[in-house]
Chain A
Amino acid sequence: MTSEIVDTLLTTARGVFAAVGPLVVLFLVFQVFLLDLPRSDVRRILVGTVAAAAGLFLFLLGVGIGFLPFGRLIGEALATMPAQWLLGIFGAVLGFVTAFSEPAVRILADEVDTASNGAIPPRLVIYTICIGVAVWVGLGLLRIAYEIPLTWLLVPGYSIVIVLFWLCDKDFVSIAIDAGGVTTGPMANTFLLALALGLAAATGDRDPLLYGLGLVALIALAPIMSLVALGSLVRRKTRTKRSKEDAEYIAHREHSA
């Protein structure tokens, strides 16, 4: 038990170091050769980076000791459900709250808010991501129960996304792509992955690895699809609004002439 804890501590520390190391090196190289920022800025950046690294360590540790084993147990318990279609509902609820707790999703939403000067509020981005993940984790758990091949979901999913790219407001295309990246963060990758592994192992002869990995692939697709869908709606709305305003303007001019 003690060696297990030491192991977890070491792996987590190595992961954090690997994540922060390249960033700090890059920054220092830039500072020396190009940036030449005042000392107080450098100190602030380094203090912030150390705080973020310490936070990441605690977060990953907490997810590893708390959510990983529990995710597996939930997956095993879900396998005993009397009706398999119930998995879709449990998957949707768990998918929603997991994406809601993913730190990078919030960081992305805040950055979108800043970059768009408040035109795209963070809550809109977060809820759209969570709804997408809810739908696809629900489908992902049903897929495990009914042994549906992953390509049957991925190929139509990405095909729809490619079509929606061309109907979508271009701001949302870029945000959607980044959202696909941030949603598969540490919480989804451990908690939901462990849940899928537990479910696949408990339902019998499924290859747990194949089915667990498949869920992560679907979680990456989910927010891309929901955000480009939202972007397509937004564009239609602004278009009709614009053409209505134009028509009113023309009518007004004709009237006054």
Chain B
Amino acid sequence: MADVVPLLKEKVAEVLRAMLPLVGIVVALQLGLVHAPSAVFVQFVVGSLLAIVGMVLIFIGVEIGILPMGRFIGAELPRKGSLMLIVAVSFSLGFATTVAEPDVLVLAQQVDVASDGAISERSVLYVIALGVGVFAALAMARIIWGVSMKLLLTLAFGTALALSFFAPPEFVPMAYDAGSVTTGVLTTPVVISLALGLSAVLAGRSAVSDGFGLLGFGSIGPIIAVLIMGIVAG
């Protein structure tokens, strides 16, 4: 673990570069426009420091632990597993990380309220998680079968757009917001490195065009799922 010090230095510099513009703008707004009570401003400064320390730890942890984890699993899957196993793992990873996500719970409550209780919170939660799971599995199967991402995306977004015209208007923002639920900071590197690992061991796959897209494609599932629930409820 002698390599920790240069890694730490590099990550601290990166985090400061990332955070300082935002902190600077907020401080400028405080002085020029917001004039918040000093207690709230002190809270902001403390919060920024916590966020900076936290981000350094995230980056170091991702580099030494999370990325290798995804890469090992991604490289091993096609060697020892069948197509069914790969698709099953993608599905369960998508489902499990979504069902546990706090953002999804909040969203599920909103759909419950918007539908006047016609669609229960619990059913929304499972439908969204199912949407993520199915689309993550589809995206993984796509890499194996070599189907074009453009075609899949056009069909998926086309379906979502078409459904937007039929769903009750209050469901539309909720649906597109549901698309942002699959974005856990730690899920991101695992899923990406898993897909990169998989595309690296399959012959004739491009690291970039096949390794990416899995994460984002999973997020179209919940958009379509919520729109359909809206149409059913309305």
Would you give the shortest CB distance from A131 to chain B, in whole angstroms?
Answer: 14
A44 touches B65 (CB 8 A): yes
In residues 168-184 of chain B, which contact A (Cβ within 8 Å)? Answer: 169-170, 172-174, 176-177, 179-180, 182-184
User: Which residue of A19, A35, A57, A180 contacts B184 across the interface (Cβ within 8 Å)?
Assistant: A19
B54 touches A56 (CB 8 A): yes
**Chain A residue, CB-CB nearest to B95:** A22
- A182 and B190 CA atoms in complex are apart in Å by 13
B25 touches A51 (CB 8 A): no
Q: Mark B37-78, 1 if CB is under 8 A from A, else 0.
A: 000110111111111111111111111111111001100110
In residues 177-196 of chain A, which contact B (Cβ within 8 Å)? Answer: 177-187, 189
In residues 194-215 of chain B, which contact A (Cβ within 8 Å)? Answer: 196, 206-215
B144 on interface, CB distance cutoff 8 Å: no
**Chain A residue, CB-CB nearest to B107:** A213
- A108 and B213 CA atoms in complex are apart in Å by 11
A58 on interface, CB distance cutoff 8 Å: yes
Known: A44-B68, A175-B212. 6 other contacts (CB 8 A): A23-B186, A51-B60, A70-B26, A70-B40, A100-B18, A150-B176
Chain A contacts for B102, CB-based, 8 A: 11, 14-15, 18
Contacts A159-B161, A210-B173 given: A181-B183 contact, CB under 8 Å? yes
- A216 and B62 CA atoms in complex are apart in Å by 26
- A64 and B51 CA atoms in complex are apart in Å by 9
- A189 and B182 CA atoms in complex are apart in Å by 12
Contacts A50-B61, A61-B50, A70-B44 given: A178-B215 contact, CB under 8 Å? yes
Q: How many residues of A contact B (CB 8 A)?
A: 104
Q: Mark A80-91, 1 if CB is under 8 A from B, else 0.
A: 000000000000
Would you give the shortest CB distance from A227 to chain B, in whole angstroms?
Answer: 11
In residues 40-54 of chain A, which contact B (Cβ within 8 Å)? Answer: 41, 44-54
User: Which residue of A34, A62, A107 contacts B189 across the interface (Cβ within 8 Å)?
Assistant: A107
Chain A contacts for B209, CB-based, 8 A: 170-171, 173-174
B208 touches A185 (CB 8 A): no
A181 touches B180 (CB 8 A): yes
A189 touches B50 (CB 8 A): no
Q: Mark B201-234, 1 if CB is under 8 A from A, else 0.
A: 0000011111111111111000000000000000
User: Which residue of B58, B73, B189 contacts A111 across the interface (Cβ within 8 Å)?
Assistant: B189
B169 touches A149 (CB 8 A): yes
A97 on interface, CB distance cutoff 8 Å: yes
User: Which residue of B30, B34, B179, B213 contacts A178 across the interface (Cβ within 8 Å)?
Assistant: B213
Chain B contacts for A154, CB-based, 8 A: 164, 172, 176
Chain B contacts for A78, CB-based, 8 A: 33
A74 touches B65 (CB 8 A): no
